[in-house]
Structure 1
Amino acid sequence: MKEEKDSYANPAPLGLFAFGMTTVLLNLHNAGFFELNSMILAMGVFYGGVAQVVAGIIEAKKNNTFGFTAFTSYGFFWLTFVGLLVLPKLGWAAPVSVNGIVAYLSMWGLFTLLLFIGTLRQSKALQFVFGSLALLFFLLALGDYTENAAIKSFAGYEGIVCGLIAIYTGIAQVLNELFGKTVLPIGAGKQAQH
Protein backbone atom coordinates (compact mmCIF):
# COMPACT_ATOMS: atom_id res chain seq x y z
CA MET A 1 0.00 0.00 0.00
CA LYS A 2 1.35 3.39 -1.00
CA GLU A 3 1.86 5.85 1.86
CA GLU A 4 -0.02 9.10 1.42
CA LYS A 5 2.13 12.23 1.61
CA ASP A 6 1.05 14.87 4.13
CA SER A 7 0.00 17.81 1.98
CA TYR A 8 -1.55 19.90 4.75
CA ALA A 9 -0.02 23.16 5.90
CA ASN A 10 0.81 23.59 9.57
CA PRO A 11 -2.56 24.59 11.13
CA ALA A 12 -1.04 25.63 14.46
CA PRO A 13 -0.46 29.30 13.52
CA LEU A 14 -4.11 29.67 12.50
CA GLY A 15 -5.23 28.15 15.79
CA LEU A 16 -2.78 30.25 17.81
CA PHE A 17 -3.81 33.50 16.10
CA ALA A 18 -7.52 32.68 16.51
CA PHE A 19 -7.03 31.84 20.17
CA GLY A 20 -4.63 34.72 20.87
CA MET A 21 -6.51 37.54 19.19
CA THR A 22 -9.88 36.52 20.65
CA THR A 23 -8.31 36.10 24.10
CA VAL A 24 -6.70 39.55 23.97
CA LEU A 25 -9.98 41.20 22.97
CA LEU A 26 -12.04 39.47 25.68
CA ASN A 27 -9.43 40.29 28.30
CA LEU A 28 -9.29 43.94 27.30
CA HIS A 29 -12.93 43.85 28.41
CA ASN A 30 -12.05 41.91 31.60
CA ALA A 31 -9.38 44.51 32.39
CA GLY A 32 -12.01 47.23 32.11
CA PHE A 33 -11.17 48.91 28.79
CA PHE A 34 -14.61 48.43 27.18
CA GLU A 35 -17.92 46.65 27.58
CA LEU A 36 -18.69 43.11 26.47
CA ASN A 37 -19.98 43.77 22.97
CA SER A 38 -20.80 42.23 19.59
CA MET A 39 -17.16 42.49 18.44
CA ILE A 40 -16.08 40.08 21.18
CA LEU A 41 -19.04 37.76 20.55
CA ALA A 42 -18.40 37.71 16.78
CA MET A 43 -14.71 36.99 17.33
CA GLY A 44 -15.70 34.25 19.79
CA VAL A 45 -17.93 32.53 17.25
CA PHE A 46 -16.10 32.97 13.97
CA TYR A 47 -12.39 33.27 14.76
CA GLY A 48 -11.87 31.95 18.27
CA GLY A 49 -14.53 29.30 17.67
CA VAL A 50 -14.79 28.16 14.06
CA ALA A 51 -11.19 28.86 13.00
CA GLN A 52 -9.79 26.89 15.94
CA VAL A 53 -12.08 23.94 15.21
CA VAL A 54 -10.84 23.99 11.59
CA ALA A 55 -7.23 24.09 12.83
CA GLY A 56 -7.97 21.18 15.15
CA ILE A 57 -9.46 19.08 12.35
CA ILE A 58 -6.37 19.66 10.22
CA GLU A 59 -4.19 18.69 13.21
CA ALA A 60 -6.14 15.40 13.30
CA LYS A 61 -5.34 14.86 9.60
CA LYS A 62 -1.67 15.46 10.47
CA ASN A 63 -1.92 12.85 13.27
CA ASN A 64 -1.25 15.43 15.99
CA THR A 65 -3.43 14.36 18.92
CA PHE A 66 -2.33 17.25 21.15
CA GLY A 67 -3.06 19.89 18.50
CA PHE A 68 -6.37 18.25 17.61
CA THR A 69 -7.47 18.11 21.25
CA ALA A 70 -6.33 21.63 22.12
CA PHE A 71 -7.56 23.57 19.10
CA THR A 72 -10.86 21.74 18.77
CA SER A 73 -11.58 22.03 22.50
CA TYR A 74 -10.75 25.72 22.75
CA GLY A 75 -12.72 26.41 19.56
CA PHE A 76 -15.72 24.85 21.24
CA PHE A 77 -14.86 26.74 24.45
CA TRP A 78 -15.41 30.00 22.56
CA LEU A 79 -18.66 28.73 21.06
CA THR A 80 -19.97 27.62 24.46
CA PHE A 81 -18.85 30.89 26.05
CA VAL A 82 -20.83 32.88 23.50
CA GLY A 83 -23.74 30.49 24.03
CA LEU A 84 -23.68 31.17 27.77
CA LEU A 85 -24.11 34.86 27.01
CA VAL A 86 -26.51 34.75 24.06
CA LEU A 87 -28.90 31.87 24.88
CA PRO A 88 -30.43 33.70 27.89
CA LYS A 89 -30.85 36.87 25.79
CA LEU A 90 -32.82 34.84 23.24
CA GLY A 91 -34.95 33.34 25.99
CA TRP A 92 -33.71 29.81 25.20
CA ALA A 93 -32.09 29.14 28.59
CA ALA A 94 -31.83 30.62 32.05
CA PRO A 95 -28.77 32.78 32.73
CA VAL A 96 -25.87 30.92 34.31
CA SER A 97 -25.51 31.44 38.06
CA VAL A 98 -22.30 32.62 39.69
CA ASN A 99 -21.70 29.07 40.95
CA GLY A 100 -22.31 27.78 37.43
CA ILE A 101 -19.77 30.13 35.85
CA VAL A 102 -17.24 29.31 38.59
CA ALA A 103 -17.69 25.58 37.84
CA TYR A 104 -17.41 26.25 34.07
CA LEU A 105 -14.19 28.27 34.43
CA SER A 106 -12.72 25.81 36.95
CA MET A 107 -13.30 22.85 34.62
CA TRP A 108 -11.60 24.72 31.77
CA GLY A 109 -8.74 25.57 34.15
CA LEU A 110 -8.35 21.91 35.09
CA PHE A 111 -8.48 20.83 31.42
CA THR A 112 -5.85 23.44 30.55
CA LEU A 113 -3.62 22.39 33.45
CA LEU A 114 -3.75 18.80 32.18
CA LEU A 115 -2.84 19.93 28.66
CA PHE A 116 -0.02 22.03 30.13
CA ILE A 117 1.63 18.75 31.13
CA GLY A 118 1.72 17.85 27.42
CA THR A 119 3.48 21.11 26.60
CA LEU A 120 6.47 20.03 28.68
CA ARG A 121 7.53 18.09 25.57
CA GLN A 122 6.92 21.09 23.33
CA SER A 123 8.22 24.63 22.97
CA LYS A 124 8.76 27.01 25.87
CA ALA A 125 6.35 29.42 24.15
CA LEU A 126 3.56 26.83 24.23
CA GLN A 127 4.35 26.09 27.86
CA PHE A 128 3.89 29.76 28.62
CA VAL A 129 0.61 29.93 26.65
CA PHE A 130 -0.91 26.93 28.44
CA GLY A 131 0.50 27.82 31.86
CA SER A 132 -0.80 31.38 31.67
CA LEU A 133 -4.14 30.16 30.30
CA ALA A 134 -4.64 27.74 33.20
CA LEU A 135 -3.83 30.59 35.58
CA LEU A 136 -6.28 32.83 33.72
CA PHE A 137 -9.17 30.37 34.08
CA PHE A 138 -8.49 29.93 37.79
CA LEU A 139 -8.18 33.71 38.34
CA LEU A 140 -11.45 34.32 36.51
CA ALA A 141 -13.16 31.63 38.58
CA LEU A 142 -11.76 33.14 41.79
CA GLY A 143 -12.82 36.63 40.71
CA ASP A 144 -16.37 35.47 40.06
CA TYR A 145 -16.50 33.38 43.25
CA THR A 146 -15.32 36.25 45.46
CA GLU A 147 -16.98 38.95 43.33
CA ASN A 148 -13.68 40.83 43.69
CA ALA A 149 -13.30 43.41 40.91
CA ALA A 150 -9.53 43.72 41.47
CA ILE A 151 -9.02 39.98 40.83
CA LYS A 152 -11.19 40.16 37.70
CA SER A 153 -9.22 43.15 36.43
CA PHE A 154 -5.88 41.48 37.20
CA ALA A 155 -7.11 38.38 35.37
CA GLY A 156 -7.84 40.59 32.37
CA TYR A 157 -4.27 41.88 32.24
CA GLU A 158 -2.91 38.35 32.70
CA GLY A 159 -5.20 37.20 29.86
CA ILE A 160 -3.87 39.92 27.57
CA VAL A 161 -0.35 38.58 28.15
CA CYS A 162 -1.54 35.01 27.51
CA GLY A 163 -3.16 36.03 24.22
CA LEU A 164 -0.14 38.05 23.09
CA ILE A 165 2.24 35.14 23.67
CA ALA A 166 -0.09 32.92 21.61
CA ILE A 167 0.02 35.50 18.79
CA TYR A 168 3.83 35.63 19.09
CA THR A 169 4.03 31.83 18.93
CA GLY A 170 1.81 31.78 15.84
CA ILE A 171 3.80 34.40 13.93
CA ALA A 172 7.07 32.76 15.02
CA GLN A 173 5.94 29.49 13.45
CA VAL A 174 4.93 31.26 10.23
CA LEU A 175 8.13 33.30 9.89
CA ASN A 176 10.46 30.48 10.97
CA GLU A 177 8.90 28.22 8.32
CA LEU A 178 8.97 30.91 5.61
CA PHE A 179 12.62 31.81 6.21
CA GLY A 180 13.76 28.24 6.93
CA LYS A 181 15.52 29.37 10.10
CA THR A 182 14.74 30.74 13.56
CA VAL A 183 13.62 34.31 13.05
CA LEU A 184 11.61 34.44 16.27
CA PRO A 185 12.67 31.91 18.92
CA ILE A 186 10.04 29.78 20.64
CA GLY A 187 12.38 27.64 22.74
CA ALA A 188 11.93 24.40 20.80
CA GLY A 189 10.99 21.42 22.93
CA LYS A 190 11.78 17.71 22.68
CA GLN A 191 9.27 17.26 19.82
CA ALA A 192 8.46 19.13 16.65
CA GLN A 193 7.80 22.84 17.06
CA HIS A 194 4.03 22.63 16.60
Structure 2
Amino acid sequence: MSDTAVRPVSTPSAAPASDSAPIADPGPLGLAGFAATTFVLSAVNAGLIPKSVEPVVLPLALFYGGVAQLLAGMWEFRKNNTFGATAFGTYGAFWLAFAFYVWQFADKIPAADAATATGVFLLVFTIFTAYMTIASLRTTAVLVGVFVLLFLTFLFLTIGELGSASTAGTIGGWLGLATAVVAWYGSFAVVTNTTAGRTILPTIPLGKH
Protein backbone atom coordinates (compact mmCIF):
# COMPACT_ATOMS: atom_id res chain seq x y z
CA MET A 1 0.00 0.00 0.00
CA SER A 2 1.40 3.40 -0.93
CA ASP A 3 1.79 6.09 1.68
CA THR A 4 -0.73 8.23 -0.22
CA ALA A 5 -3.47 5.84 0.77
CA VAL A 6 -3.15 6.72 4.42
CA ARG A 7 -2.11 10.38 4.11
CA PRO A 8 -4.76 12.75 5.50
CA VAL A 9 -6.80 14.50 2.85
CA SER A 10 -6.02 18.23 2.72
CA THR A 11 -8.86 20.73 2.96
CA PRO A 12 -7.67 23.97 1.37
CA SER A 13 -11.18 25.39 1.37
CA ALA A 14 -11.62 25.11 5.12
CA ALA A 15 -12.52 28.40 6.87
CA PRO A 16 -9.69 30.13 8.76
CA ALA A 17 -9.60 29.99 12.52
CA SER A 18 -11.97 32.50 14.08
CA ASP A 19 -9.16 34.27 15.91
CA SER A 20 -7.48 35.19 12.63
CA ALA A 21 -10.55 35.95 10.50
CA PRO A 22 -10.75 39.63 9.51
CA ILE A 23 -13.68 41.75 10.61
CA ALA A 24 -15.09 44.99 9.26
CA ASP A 25 -13.83 48.29 10.66
CA PRO A 26 -16.09 49.24 13.62
CA GLY A 27 -14.79 52.83 13.62
CA PRO A 28 -17.46 54.35 11.35
CA LEU A 29 -20.23 52.92 13.55
CA GLY A 30 -18.64 54.31 16.70
CA LEU A 31 -18.08 57.74 15.15
CA ALA A 32 -21.62 57.89 13.79
CA GLY A 33 -23.21 56.98 17.12
CA PHE A 34 -21.02 59.50 18.91
CA ALA A 35 -21.74 62.25 16.36
CA ALA A 36 -25.52 61.83 16.35
CA THR A 37 -25.94 61.96 20.11
CA THR A 38 -23.44 64.79 20.52
CA PHE A 39 -25.20 66.80 17.80
CA VAL A 40 -28.64 66.64 19.41
CA LEU A 41 -27.47 67.45 22.94
CA SER A 42 -25.19 70.21 21.66
CA ALA A 43 -28.06 71.78 19.75
CA VAL A 44 -29.84 72.10 23.10
CA ASN A 45 -26.72 73.44 24.85
CA ALA A 46 -26.15 75.98 22.08
CA GLY A 47 -29.74 77.22 22.39
CA LEU A 48 -30.74 76.21 18.87
CA ILE A 49 -33.62 74.09 20.12
CA PRO A 50 -35.55 74.51 23.40
CA LYS A 51 -34.37 72.69 26.50
CA SER A 52 -37.82 71.14 26.84
CA VAL A 53 -36.96 68.68 24.04
CA GLU A 54 -33.78 67.49 25.79
CA PRO A 55 -35.36 64.13 26.81
CA VAL A 56 -35.11 63.08 23.14
CA VAL A 57 -31.38 62.70 23.81
CA LEU A 58 -31.97 59.82 26.24
CA PRO A 59 -32.92 57.08 23.75
CA LEU A 60 -30.11 58.21 21.45
CA ALA A 61 -27.69 58.15 24.38
CA LEU A 62 -28.81 54.68 25.43
CA PHE A 63 -28.90 52.88 22.11
CA TYR A 64 -26.81 54.75 19.52
CA GLY A 65 -24.27 56.79 21.45
CA GLY A 66 -24.23 54.17 24.20
CA VAL A 67 -24.79 50.55 23.16
CA ALA A 68 -23.71 50.87 19.50
CA GLN A 69 -20.57 52.80 20.43
CA LEU A 70 -19.73 50.41 23.25
CA LEU A 71 -20.03 47.48 20.83
CA ALA A 72 -17.76 49.32 18.39
CA GLY A 73 -15.22 49.61 21.20
CA MET A 74 -15.36 45.87 21.89
CA TRP A 75 -14.84 45.14 18.18
CA GLU A 76 -11.84 47.47 18.24
CA PHE A 77 -10.36 45.17 20.89
CA ARG A 78 -10.89 42.34 18.41
CA LYS A 79 -8.95 44.35 15.81
CA ASN A 80 -6.11 44.95 18.29
CA ASN A 81 -6.73 48.72 18.20
CA THR A 82 -6.06 49.94 21.74
CA PHE A 83 -6.86 53.57 20.94
CA GLY A 84 -10.19 52.83 19.27
CA ALA A 85 -11.23 50.34 21.95
CA THR A 86 -10.44 52.77 24.76
CA ALA A 87 -12.12 55.73 23.05
CA PHE A 88 -15.33 54.04 21.89
CA GLY A 89 -15.58 51.94 25.06
CA THR A 90 -15.30 55.03 27.25
CA TYR A 91 -17.59 57.33 25.28
CA GLY A 92 -20.15 54.56 24.87
CA ALA A 93 -20.12 54.16 28.65
CA PHE A 94 -20.27 57.96 29.00
CA TRP A 95 -23.53 58.16 27.06
CA LEU A 96 -25.03 55.23 28.95
CA ALA A 97 -24.04 56.83 32.26
CA PHE A 98 -25.35 60.24 31.14
CA ALA A 99 -28.73 58.81 30.15
CA PHE A 100 -29.01 56.86 33.40
CA TYR A 101 -27.96 59.90 35.44
CA VAL A 102 -30.56 62.19 33.85
CA TRP A 103 -33.24 59.49 33.94
CA GLN A 104 -32.80 58.17 37.47
CA PHE A 105 -30.67 60.49 39.59
CA ALA A 106 -30.72 64.13 38.44
CA ASP A 107 -33.97 64.93 40.24
CA LYS A 108 -32.66 63.37 43.47
CA ILE A 109 -29.85 65.94 43.80
CA PRO A 110 -30.70 69.17 45.67
CA ALA A 111 -31.12 72.08 43.26
CA ALA A 112 -28.25 73.97 44.92
CA ASP A 113 -25.86 71.10 44.16
CA ALA A 114 -27.11 70.05 40.74
CA ALA A 115 -24.62 72.13 38.73
CA THR A 116 -21.71 70.89 40.86
CA ALA A 117 -22.78 67.27 40.38
CA THR A 118 -23.03 67.68 36.61
CA GLY A 119 -19.77 69.62 36.51
CA VAL A 120 -17.83 66.90 38.33
CA PHE A 121 -19.37 64.30 36.01
CA LEU A 122 -18.17 66.29 33.00
CA LEU A 123 -14.76 66.99 34.55
CA VAL A 124 -13.94 63.27 34.61
CA PHE A 125 -14.41 63.04 30.86
CA THR A 126 -12.59 66.33 30.27
CA ILE A 127 -9.49 64.78 31.86
CA PHE A 128 -9.90 61.56 29.86
CA THR A 129 -10.33 63.47 26.62
CA ALA A 130 -7.24 65.58 27.34
CA TYR A 131 -4.88 62.61 27.35
CA MET A 132 -6.71 60.88 24.51
CA THR A 133 -6.16 64.06 22.47
CA ILE A 134 -2.42 63.63 22.97
CA ALA A 135 -2.65 59.95 21.97
CA SER A 136 -4.67 60.88 18.86
CA LEU A 137 -1.65 62.70 17.42
CA ARG A 138 -0.51 59.31 16.08
CA THR A 139 -3.80 58.52 14.31
CA THR A 140 -5.30 60.78 11.62
CA ALA A 141 -5.85 64.50 11.21
CA VAL A 142 -9.61 63.92 11.30
CA LEU A 143 -9.43 62.14 14.66
CA VAL A 144 -7.15 64.86 16.02
CA GLY A 145 -9.79 67.38 14.99
CA VAL A 146 -12.50 65.37 16.74
CA PHE A 147 -10.53 65.09 19.97
CA VAL A 148 -9.34 68.70 20.09
CA LEU A 149 -12.89 69.94 19.57
CA LEU A 150 -14.29 67.40 22.03
CA PHE A 151 -11.78 68.40 24.70
CA LEU A 152 -12.78 72.04 24.27
CA THR A 153 -16.45 71.04 24.36
CA PHE A 154 -16.06 69.20 27.67
CA LEU A 155 -13.88 71.98 29.07
CA PHE A 156 -16.39 74.74 28.36
CA LEU A 157 -19.35 72.65 29.53
CA THR A 158 -17.48 71.85 32.76
CA ILE A 159 -16.66 75.52 33.31
CA GLY A 160 -20.26 76.39 32.58
CA GLU A 161 -21.52 74.01 35.28
CA LEU A 162 -18.88 74.46 37.98
CA GLY A 163 -18.55 78.20 37.42
CA SER A 164 -22.26 78.87 36.87
CA ALA A 165 -21.29 80.50 33.58
CA SER A 166 -24.10 80.08 31.08
CA THR A 167 -22.08 81.68 28.28
CA ALA A 168 -19.38 79.02 28.65
CA GLY A 169 -22.06 76.33 28.41
CA THR A 170 -23.42 77.89 25.21
CA ILE A 171 -19.92 77.99 23.71
CA GLY A 172 -19.57 74.34 24.69
CA GLY A 173 -22.75 73.63 22.77
CA TRP A 174 -21.41 75.22 19.60
CA LEU A 175 -18.11 73.38 20.00
CA GLY A 176 -20.09 70.15 20.40
CA LEU A 177 -21.87 70.80 17.10
CA ALA A 178 -18.49 71.26 15.39
CA THR A 179 -17.25 68.06 17.03
CA ALA A 180 -20.25 66.14 15.71
CA VAL A 181 -19.74 67.41 12.15
CA VAL A 182 -16.07 66.38 12.10
CA ALA A 183 -16.94 62.97 13.61
CA TRP A 184 -19.63 62.45 10.96
CA TYR A 185 -17.08 63.31 8.28
CA GLY A 186 -14.70 60.72 9.73
CA SER A 187 -17.42 58.06 9.64
CA PHE A 188 -18.46 59.07 6.11
CA ALA A 189 -14.86 59.01 4.88
CA VAL A 190 -14.03 55.54 6.18
CA VAL A 191 -17.28 54.00 4.90
CA THR A 192 -16.90 55.63 1.49
CA ASN A 193 -13.21 54.79 1.12
CA THR A 194 -13.71 51.19 2.25
CA THR A 195 -16.66 50.65 -0.06
CA ALA A 196 -14.86 52.19 -3.03
CA GLY A 197 -11.59 50.39 -2.31
CA ARG A 198 -9.65 53.63 -2.67
CA THR A 199 -9.26 56.99 -0.95
CA ILE A 200 -12.00 59.39 -2.00
CA LEU A 201 -12.36 61.39 1.21
CA PRO A 202 -9.00 61.94 2.95
CA THR A 203 -8.51 61.40 6.67
CA ILE A 204 -4.75 62.21 6.51
CA PRO A 205 -2.88 59.52 8.48
CA LEU A 206 -0.34 60.98 10.90
CA GLY A 207 1.43 57.82 12.05
CA LYS A 208 0.93 54.27 13.21
CA HIS A 209 -1.01 53.95 16.48
Displacement of 1:152 in angstroms is 1.3
Amino acid at match of 1:31: A
Alignment of 1:111-130 (within 5 A): 111-130=128-147
1:25–1:9: structure 2 CA closer, same or farther, 3 Å change rule?
same
2:38 partner amino acid: T
2:10 maps to none
> What secondary structure, in the 3-state scheme, does the structure 2 residue paired with 1:188 have?
coil
Report the CA distance between 1:38 and its aligned residue.
Answer: 3.1
Which residue matches 2:161? 144
| Aligned equivalent of 1:67 | 84
Flag the structure with more relative contact order, 1 or 2, with Cα contacts below 8 A and sequence separation at least 6: 1
CA–CA distance in 2 between the matches of 1:67 and 1:169? 13
Note if contact 1:11-1:59 (Cα within 8 Å) is conserved in structure 2: yes
Checking the alignment, whether the CA contact within 8 Å between 2:133 and 2:144 is kept in structure 1 is yes
Structure 2: which amino acid aligns with 1:5?
A: S
Q: Aligned runs of 1:1-194 on 2, under 5 Å?
A: 4-32=19-47, 33-35=49-51, 36-88=53-105, 93-94=108-109, 97-191=114-208
CA shift at 1:8, angstroms?
Answer: 1.1
1:66-104: CA deviation from partner (whole Å, max 9, x where unpaired)? 111110110010011111111137x7x546632222121
For structure 2, the residue ranges without an aligned partner over 5 or more in a row are 1-16
Q: Which residue of 1 aligns with 2:6?
A: none
- 2:71 aligned partner, one-letter code: V
Q: 1:153: how far off?
A: 1.2
What is the aligned residue count?
Answer: 189
Q: 2: CA distance between counterparts of 1:94 and 1:149?
A: 20
- Structure exhibiting the larger radius of gyration computed from Cα positions: 2
Write the distance in 2 (CA, Å) between the matches of 1:117 and 1:160. 22
Kept in 2, the 8 Å contact 1:172–1:183? The answer is yes
Asked whether the 8 Å contact 2:115–2:164 carries over to 1, the reply is no
**Same amino acid, percent of matched pairs:** 34
Query: What is the Cα-based RMSD across aligned positions, in Å?
Result: 1.8
Q: Say whether the 8 Å CA contact 2:41–2:54 is kept in structure 1.
A: no
Distance (whole Å) between structure 1 residues aligned to residue 129 and residue 21 of structure 2:
29
